[in-house]
Amino acid sequence: MEILKFRLKGKTAFFKNPEVNTYYYFTYGNIHRVALLGLFGAILGYQGYNAQQEVYPEFYEKLKDLKAAVVPAAEYGCFEKKVQTFNNSVGYASQETGGNLIVKEQWLENPEWQVYVLIQDEESRRLADAVMAHHCVYMPYLGKNDHPADLLEAEIITAEPESPIGGPVSSLIPESMAEFDFGKMTFKYTEYLPVKLKETTNLYETEKMILTDAWVKRCEEPVYRDNEYRLMFF
């Protein structure tokens, strides 16, 4: 099986968690599947939410069947976060005197991931060709356009599926995909992250994701190996 592999990084990132915005806006702790598909859509020139005319935004409609794996380049999968405060003074941002809105956002600092995409259909092949050619129709960014993304060291690798039993999985996966032996683990990172869009509202559907060095003891899905990484795609 051919797999597109590249390093995705940026100085900062902000993947807005829409559930809390009373005092400041929170970010998810890692890039999630919907944001990753949005980044791929920007590379390929697909339209987003603002131009939506069908059930889903164009990027999601065309790319929702891609199989990807993401390995965070951070200890235990956790990136440093800092709250940034800045002014939005366009005039209509706030009803306060002067029209100035003070925005507080929680940003990821120096995020980086190793990203893998199974090349198994026309869309994944188009994506691989574009990334390998360093060609992007729109600028890719990490959550919003304040956070430009760098795609580095792109290559096409080959790997065959193997049994997941007998070792850990290096990529973030839905916890429901596998059963782990937590007896000898040294870390476990979990977070509810968006995995797809709801058809009627386009709101996020989240699922509990896990990253751990615990060994897999039961799973229906195969894994693929890239050097020291064992990857499970979803």
Alpha helical stretches, state H, the chain: 33-44, 58-63, 122-132
The more confident residue out of 54 and 208 is 208
The DSSP code for 25 is B
Give residue-wise pLDDT tens across range 154-189: 999 999 999 999 899 999 999 999 999 999 899 999
- Per residue in 158-167, pLDDT (tens digit) is 999 999 998 9
Write down the domain spans for the chain.
2-231
% of the chain beyond a pLDDT of 70: 91
Whether the CB-CB separation of 65 and 121 falls below 8 Å is answered with: yes
Amino acid at 202: N
The predicted pLDDT at position 203 comes to 92
In 3D space, the residue among 73, 48, 67, 61 whose CA is nearest the CA of residue 128 turns out to be 67
* Mean pLDDT of the chain, nearest integer: 91
Categorize the per-residue pLDDT at 93 as very low, low, confident or very high, splitting at 50, 70 and 90.
very low
**Pick from 12-21, 27-36, 167-176: least confident:** 12-21
Q: How many residues does the chain have?
A: 234
Phi and psi at residue 87, to the nearest 5°: -100, 140
Confidence of residue 92 (pLDDT cuts 50, 70, 90): very low
Q: How confident is the model at residue 215 (pLDDT cuts 50, 70, 90)?
A: very high
Ramachandran angles phi, psi of 196, nearest 5°: -165, 175
Q: Which two tokens stand for residue 189?
A: 């990172």
What is the enclosing helix (H) or strand (E) of 54? none
pLDDT at 85: 80
Q: What is the mean pLDDT of residues 142-150?
A: 95
CATH of domain 2-231: 3.30.70.2660
Task: Calculate the dihedral angle through the C-alpha atoms of 229, 190, 207, 223, rounding to the nearest 10 degrees.
Answer: 20
Judged against a pLDDT cut of 70, whether residue 89 lies above it is answered with no
Contact predicate 130/46, CB 8 Å: no
Is the pLDDT at 62 greater than 90? The verdict is: yes
pLDDT over threshold 80, residue 20: no
**Which three-class secondary structure state does DSSP give residue 103?**
strand
Least confident of 42-56, 154-168, 220-234: 42-56
Q: Across residues 63-68, what is the average pLDDT?
A: 97
Greater confidence (52 vs 231) lies with: 231
Name all contacts of 148-155 with Cβ < 8 Å and 24+ positions apart.
148/10, 149/8, 149/9, 149/10, 149/39, 150/7, 150/8, 150/9, 150/10, 151/6, 151/7, 151/8, 152/6, 152/7, 152/8, 152/9, 153/5, 153/6, 153/7, 154/4, 154/5, 154/6, 155/5, 155/6
87 has pLDDT over 90:
no
The pLDDT of residue 84: 86
